[in-house]
Amino acid sequence: MNSQWVLNAAISLSLVLLSVALLVTVVRIVRGPTLPDRVLGLDMLVAIAIGFIAVIAVKTGYGLYIDIAIALGLVGFLATIALARFILTRGLAPEREARLPTASAGAKPAPKPIKTGRPNRRKRKGGR
């Protein structure tokens, strides 16, 4: 039993486990009931792709693949942040919008803004 055999066995095992993780993640994306579930699944797909690239880099001995994995990680992170911001601003699910209280349903009015204590500085008409 030499080190090359152990390395090949580890590479094969990691490729199998990454393939299973990929299939489970795709199922989660397809069946995900909400948009955040799907965004989380896409983020997981990026992480699994980075794992595949790293394993292939070890298998081939070609170090440039690691740079590609780092770039993919940065792009995936930025995409996750953009999608999370979209969800927070405009991505309310239709069933959640239906449950939001409205003014006609006897809901409490929106709270008044808090005063900070700073005077309101308006420009004078004299040119200042």
Residues with Cβ within 8 Å of residue 18, at least 6 apart in sequence: 48, 51, 52, 55
What CATH number does the domain located at 3-98 have? Answer: 1.10.287
The residues spanned by each domain of the chain are: 3-98
> Which of 12-16, 38-42, 44-48, 107-111 is predicted with the least confidence, judged by mean pLDDT?
107-111
Q: Which one has a higher pLDDT value, 42 or 116?
A: 42
| pLDDT higher than threshold 80 for residue 116 | no
> Do 48 and 25 contact (CB within 8 A), yes or no?
yes
User: Which pLDDT band, with edges at 50, 70 and 90, does 70 fall under?
Assistant: very high
Looking up tokens 């039993």 gives: 1
Q: What is the 3-state secondary structure (H, E, C) of 85-96?
A: HHHHHHCCCHHH
- The answer to whether residue 72 scores a pLDDT higher than 60 is yes
Task: Tell me the average pLDDT of the chain.
Answer: 83
For 6, 55, 59, 69, the CA distances from 11, given in Å and listed in that order, are 9, 7, 7, 17
- Band (pLDDT 50/70/90 cuts) for residue 88 is confident
* Nearest one of 86, 14, 96, 111 to 55, comparing CA atoms: 14
